[in-house]
Structure 1
Amino acid sequence: MHYGVDFADAIGTPIHSVENGTVIDAGPASGFGLWVRVKQDDGTTAVYGHVNDILTHVGQRVNAGDVIATVGNRGNSTGPHLHLEIWDPSDVKIDPAPYLASKGVVLSQQSWGAGE
C-alpha cells in the first residue's frame, strides 16, 4: 500500500516544511534513500522521502515554509519526486490530503488530455 502523496518535480527543487516543528530524522532511510522527518507542533510527524539534499539536521527547529531539503530520486523511486506522509501522534500513517486541506492546502489532480 502507498501511504502518502507524491509530488513530481525536478531534482533539486526546494522542499518546504509543512508546519512548525523539530527535525527528528535526517538521513538514510530504507526505501526512501534519504528522508527528513519533522515532529510537528500539533503532534503529527511529516515524512519527506526520496530527497536529494538534506538542508537541516536532527534537533533543528523549523517553521512552516522553511526549506528543509530538495527533491530527489533516491531509494525505491521511479522518477524525481517528493513523497510526503503524515503520521498521527501514535505514528499511524494517515491520509495526507485531508490533513493538508485542514492547513489550507488543497490537492488536485490534473486530467491530461481530457476532452481532446
Structure 2
Amino acid sequence: MNDSQYHQLVDDAFERIEQTMDSDDFDIECDINGGVLTLEFENRSKMVINKQEPLHQLWLATKFGGYHFEWHETEQQWICNRSGNEFWTLLVESITKQSGETLSF
C-alpha cells in the first residue's frame, strides 16, 4: 500500500465515524484535528483514534487499552495486529463499554 492509499482508507474511516456521530442521537462529541479523531462521551472520558503514517497503521486508545490496526487487503478490513480483532467491531464494543452508548457503523 502506498501513502496515498493509506490516507484514503483512514480518511474514509474517520468520515464514517463522524457521520455516525452526527446523524444519530448520541451524546458523543467527535473532533478531528489533523490525523487524530477524538470522541468525548457524556461521562467526560475520551477515546482517541489516530493515524500512524510511518507504519501505515490506525491506532485506537480507549480507557481500557490501546490497539494497533493494519489494513488487510484480502479481508478489506483493519485488523488488530495483536488480538486479530476487526476495527469496527472493537470500536463498537469499546464505545459501549466506555460510554454506555450502543451504536453501529
Pick the TM interval, shorter chain.
0.3 to 0.5
* Relative contact order higher in (CA < 8 Å, ≥ 6 apart): 1
Greater strand content: 1
TM-score of the superposed pair, with normalisation by structure 1? 0.34
Greater helix content: 2
Q: Which has the larger radius of gyration?
A: 1
